[in-house]
Each structure stands twice: as structure tokens, then as C-alpha cells.
A and B are shown apart, each in its own frame.
With several copies, the nearest count.
Chain A
Amino acid sequence: MDLTEPAKLAAFRGEAREWLRSHVPSEPLPSLDTAAGFAAHREWEREMYDARWGVVTWPEQYGGRGAGLLEWLVFEEEYWAAGAPVRVSQNGIFLLAPTIFEFGTREQKDRFLPPMARAEEVWAQGWSEPGAGSDLASLRSKAEKVDGGWRLSGQKTWSTRAVFADWLFGLFRSDPGSERHRGLTYFLLPLSADGVTVRPIRQLDGEPGFAEVFFDSVFVPDEHVLGGVGEGWKVAMSTTTSERGLTLRSPGRFMAAADRLIDLYAATRVADPAAAAAARDDVAQAWMDADAYRLYVLGTALKALGGESIGAESSANKLFWSQLDVAVHETALAMLGERSTLEDDNVSAPWLDGYEFSLAGPIYAGTNEVQRNVVAERVLGLPR
């Protein structure tokens, strides 16, 4: 066993911390769900990209540092500890990019990765449909082959960032006779294309965090098909695995939240000792769970580096962080008491926002009910 951080990794951490310390905006950026906020977040991404901190895990030729899993975990710890903004490019750099690296042509990589990394092109996802949520394989939006490309028709929903994003990646049924996982194709298209209509959906906090996207015979050229025609499911799964797995919910985020919770506890101990006393055990539990999550992900990363596959662990992972995230925020709100629902309170507002955000955790990227099925059937081998 060896948990000492290697010198090279420690140096990387130091470099990241130093840069973040001097560049993270002192004031929080305006909400990502407003035009102004979206633009401000694009600028921040560009600033990171220029310093080669935007896509650390990418190859240098695409503006990254070719960072490995451990560097990535370290960078995320430093990123969130520094109180840096949420990543507007998240869908692209964490969900789509790994798929492009795996399935994209040389032309697609050169066309899509650089503007994605610079946040000049922000991506929205097109997975779910009104009738296809947890049951993703039941989607019906279709793609008809035409000369030189395809015509897409149908509707997607829960498309995160689609209101302000530039491009969308998603699955469409390219074989009319097909069912379930077969006959699907993975398309990339600009939201500005003719026939695309984006209808914002106000989420729990009232902001248009996601949207419905309607497709009325939208033309997409053949070169914007990612992976093989009819192989969309296989291609997409590589993405949703990474979504559930390591690359979307880095421990740094929860460690930072647990640290903020401890600060809140310290303040509450002065302002409302009884409320602090009642929350003490939960605060300790939250810190322990965040620490356990960090260790579990580290262990999984080391396994992956050791060549082991990490498939269904990502479901256990998602169950744990999504419950941890809700619990951390519930504990904070309990301490905030009568002020916990105030949107104009500097202390409460971030916790309230965070709570509303955390409530999506057990739902998206495969509900926790689906995740428990996955653990039971694929990890434990129970009958379907």
C-alpha cells in the first residue's frame, strides 16, 4: 500500500492551486441559466483553456496536458476547493469528447474538439424523450436517409444547457423498423440548424436549466454522424458510462461542500448552539462520507490505471454521491432553520441552490432505482 502523493503529482497540484488562486473570479459569476451568466462562463472557460487548464486530460495537441486520472482527480480537488465556477463546457468536454476521441474520425476531432475546448461551441445533450427517460432504449425520434446526409424529426427533452448552447449530440432511430437498442445512430448538429426549435424548461429553481428540443426534418450531413450508422447505442453507452462514472462527479466537489458545511457548523455553533448540536452527528457523517467517496474513487482510478475494467462500479458510485450530495445539503438547511428557504440571504442562497441541484442527482443519468437494478444484476448477478 502507498498513499503518499508522488512528487510529480504534488507539483502538478501546486501548479494548479497557484494558477487557480490567482485567476478564479473573486465574485461568483452570474447564473449559468442567464444569457449574461452563460457568456461569463464561456469567458472563464476560455481563460482556463488559454492557460491549458481547461481540458487537462486531453492530449496536448488539442490544448490539454495529457493528464492521467490521478492528475485529473487532483485538479478537480483544487478546482472546487478554490471555489471556481461550474463548467459550462461540461457536456462537451466530459461527455462528448471521450466519445469523439474513441469513435470520431480525424476530421471530426479537428473540427469539433478545439472550439469545444475554447467554449466557442458549447454542447447540449439529446438523450431523453418524453416517452424515454429511464427507459432510454425506447426512444422514437427518427433519422431518414437522404442524399448526402440525414433528416431528423422528433423531440428530445431534459436537454441540459440547450437554451444557450450551440451544438447538440444525441441518438436518433435511423432504422425505421428497429426496436430498443438496435437501429440507432449518434448525430452531431448545430442548434441553429433549420427546423430546430428549442423550448426552455424552467427547472425547480425557476431557471431554464434545460429545454425541450424539437426537430422538424433537420438536415445533418453524413460527416456529422459519430461512429457507425446503426451503432448509436454502443457509441452512446461509452458516454453515459463516463457520465455515471468518474468523470462527472469528481470527489473534489463533495469535499469542498463538506468543508463549507463544517464552516457553517462553526458559525451556527455561535449563532444557534442548539441547531448546531442537533446537526453535529450529521456534519461529521457528511465529512466522513465525502472522504469515503474520495477514497473509493481514488481506489477505482488506481484499479483502472492497473488495467482493470470499472464498468458497474459506476452505478455504486452514482448511488453514493447522489445520496451524499442530498444529505450534505439537508444538514446545512437544517442548521439554517427559518432562513433556509431565503433566496436573498447570502448564507442560505448557495445552500438552497445546491440543495435544489442535489435533488436532480438521484434522478438524472439513470435514476437511482435503475442504478440499484444495475448493481444487483451486473455486480451481484441476481436474476433480471
Chain B
Amino acid sequence: MRLTADQDALDFAASVRELLADVADAAALRLAWDDAEGRIPGVWKRLADAGVLGLTVPEEYGGSGADLTTLLPVLVEVGRSALPEPIVETVVGATVLAAAGGPVAAEWLPRVIAGDAVIAVRLGPGSLVSAAPWADLLLVPDHAGVLCAVPSVEAELRSEVSVDRGVRLASVDVPAGAGTALGGVDLDAAFDTGVVATAAQLVGLAETMLAMSVSYAKTREQFGVPIGSFQAIKHQLADMYVDNAFAVPVVARAAWSAAQSAPTRSRDASHAKHAATTAAQHAARTALQVHAGIGYTFEHDLHMWMKRSWTLASLWGTKEWHRERVAQAVLTP
């Protein structure tokens, strides 16, 4: 048995980590935040070249045909770096297209793999579509509730402004007759994939916020000693560590259940989103309290990770929504 990704997947994630450290560090992130487009130029193509975007696309479309457990450590890295790129949306979109098959899949999947197309999807309880303003193709329900593939040029978007400048949210309206209806897709499975992928990012966000806080607590001095020598700080950081350490295996198990289409897939995905959201929110609160004033500034990097944890907590179903989904699975005979 193995509860972590396979070694080759870990090695691949490590290479992505190096790539992101190289092209998407905090400085690059800051530029993207101040930029109207809100993305880091060139990164998307680099991720495509590295094989990230095609990792879970079936081989028949030119992908690597890997499952979610292989992609998982990459998604944690994406969270660690608070990367402002539509990876989850595109990966889930590609999953939907592959399941639907047909000409739409044949047309779009190779472009996704090559990094030439971004997909945004609307699934689950929410009505906002994350990454829609960045997307070339939208997978959204039409007025009859049928999921359709709609080139974004044909859709009407109402963009919103999030406190997290690293995401782009919009409401999408599909004119009657626009787009292509997608049949034979297990939408719940696709939604759960997005939920687990988001949970993985939240775990990564929490890890970075913990690391930032620990290093700050070791160097910042008050009353003549590092604040990390105060028990009040130590214990807050210890609780922060424990919270996230126990979310990690829950997220891993959810990826396995999704990859195996286990009967507990939805329950496990919701458990993962709930645990990871709780850990990330806890991490954001504690990180700010430990950083105190400096963490409250826009100049410091912390706020970009905090606000990403706020948005990812609110998308793909809130933790309350997922807790109730778990409750319905385990409390109803």
C-alpha cells in the first residue's frame, strides 16, 4: 500500500517546483497581481512544455493518460507558489472533454496539451466561473441545464473583481443555440476532480504560510529574543502544523478514490475540501497573527497566499457545503 504519489510523480512535481521557483517566484507573482491580465507571461507555455497540462489527458489525444494521484503533487506545488494560472479549471475541462469525446475533444484537447487553449468550467453549487475571462473554451450549462462547450467569443461574460488578483471570476451567459452540447459525461465525477484539485492547492498554500511564519518567528525579535521562542507563538505554529499534517493524507485518499471511481468518491472529495479549507484558513489566520503588522501590509508577500486561500475556500463549494455532503453520506443509513 502507498498513501503518497508514486516516486516518478514526486520527481515530476519536484521538477515543476524548480520550474515555478524559477519563473513564478513571489516577485513574478507581484507583477501579475499588478497586471491587468493577472497572469505570469510565458508560464502557461512552460507548464505545457513540461507536460503538466497533458498529464491527465488520455493518450489517444496526445496526453500522458495519468490519473489524479499522479497530478496531485503538482497541484500542491501550484498551491505552494500561489500560482495565478487556470490549471485546475483547464485540467477539469480537459477531463470533461475527454469523457465526452467526439470532434470537440479532438479539436480542443491537443490545443490544451500544447498550452494554446485555456478551459473554464461551471460545475457544482456555484454560479461563478473561475478563469472564464482567461478561457478560450467554456464548459457551462445552457438554459436547459445541458452542459455545453462554448468558445468564449460566443458567450457573454460579466467579469467580477476578486480581492485575489491572481484569479479571474465571471458570470457566464450562453446565448440560445450557441456551443455544442456534451453528452455522456459524469458531471459529479468531473466536479469531484476539481474539488480534490482545489483541496490540493489549499494544502500547498497552508504549507507555504507555515514556512513563512516559522522563518519569520525565528528572525523577528521582540523583548530581546526571537518571537519564536515565546510559547504563545510556538503553540500557534504547532497547531497550524498539526492541522495541515492531518489534511494531507485526507486529500491524497480523495485523489485515489477519484482515480478509482470509488463508491466513496464524492464523500472523500468533500472531506478533502473541508479538511484542506479548514487547515488553510487556520494557517492564514495564524500566519497573519505571527507576522503581525508586517503581514498586514500589501508590500509583504503573505497577503497573496492569504487571499488565495480565501478564494479557493469559497470556490468549488464552501467547507460548510462539503461538510453537509459528508454528513449526508455518513449519517444517513
Contacts and interface: CB of A to CB of B under 8 A. Distances in A.
Judge A-B direct contact (beta carbons within 8 Å).
yes
B321 A275 contact: yes
Nearest to B67: A1
Question: Which 9 A-B pairs give the minimum distances between C-beta atoms?
Answer: A202-B298, A376-B234, A278-B320, A295-B249, A375-B238, A284-B327, A1-B69, A372-B238, A382-B228
Interface stretch (B15-23, B91-99, B311-319): B311-319
B178 to A, nearest CB: 24
B296 A380 contact: no
Given A128-B293, A302-B1, A375 B299 contact: no
Given A134-B222, A275-B318, A288 B233 contact: no
Interface in B226-264: 226, 228-235, 237-239, 241-242, 245-250, 252-253, 255-256, 259
16 contacts: A6-B1, A138-B222, A203-B297, A204-B297, A278-B323, A287-B330, A292-B246, A292-B249, A295-B250, A302-B4, A326-B285, A341-B163, A363-B288, A372-B235, A376-B237, A381-B218
Contacts of B11: none
Interface string B296-333: 11110001000100110011001011011011001101
Interface of A is mostly: helix
Nearest to A280: B327
A340 B228 CA distance: 33
A30 B161 CA distance: 18
Contacts of B6: 1
A367 B162 contact: no
Interface residues of B, number: 79
B5 A1 contact: yes
From A131, A206, A338, name the one whose CB has the most chain B CB atoms within 10 angstroms.
A338
Interface in A282-338: 283-285, 287-289, 291-293, 295-296, 298-299, 302, 313, 316, 319-320, 326, 333-334, 336-338
A383 B229 contact: yes
Contacts of A384: 229
Interface in B100-153: 126-128
Given A204-B296, A279-B320, A284-B323, A341 B314 contact: yes
B292 A288 contact: no
A3 B218 contact: no
Contact of B242 (A133, A326, A375): A375
Interface in B1-32: 1-6
Given A288-B323, A342-B162, A376-B238, 20 more contacts: A1-B3, A1-B252, A6-B1, A202-B298, A202-B299, A281-B327, A283-B327, A287-B330, A289-B246, A292-B275, A319-B239, A334-B320, A338-B315, A343-B161, A372-B238, A372-B239, A373-B238, A381-B218, A382-B214, A383-B226
Given A262-B331, A292-B249, A379 B3 contact: no
A373 B297 contact: no
A150 interface: no
Interface residues of A, number: 83
A15 interface: no
Contacts of B265: none
From B225, B231, B245, name the one whose CB has the most chain A CB atoms within 10 angstroms.
B245
Given A316-B245, A367-B289, A376-B235, A206 B298 contact: yes
Contacts of A202: 297-299
Given A316-B242, A341-B314, A382 B327 contact: no
Interface in A139-167: 157-158
A340 B249 contact: no
A295 B254 CA distance: 11
A316 B247 CA distance: 13
A274 interface: yes
Given A281-B327, A292-B275, A373-B231, A2 B249 contact: no
From A128, A292, A356, name the one whose CB has the most chain B CB atoms within 10 angstroms.
A292
Contacts of A362: 289
B241 A292 contact: no
A40 to B, nearest CB: 23
A380 B1 contact: no
Interface in A2-42: 2-6
Nearest to B9: A1
B164 A341 contact: yes
A341 B311 contact: yes
A296 B251 CA distance: 11
Contacts of A278: 320-321, 323-324
Contact of A342 (B4, B160, B230, B248): B160
Contacts of B255: 1
A82 interface: no
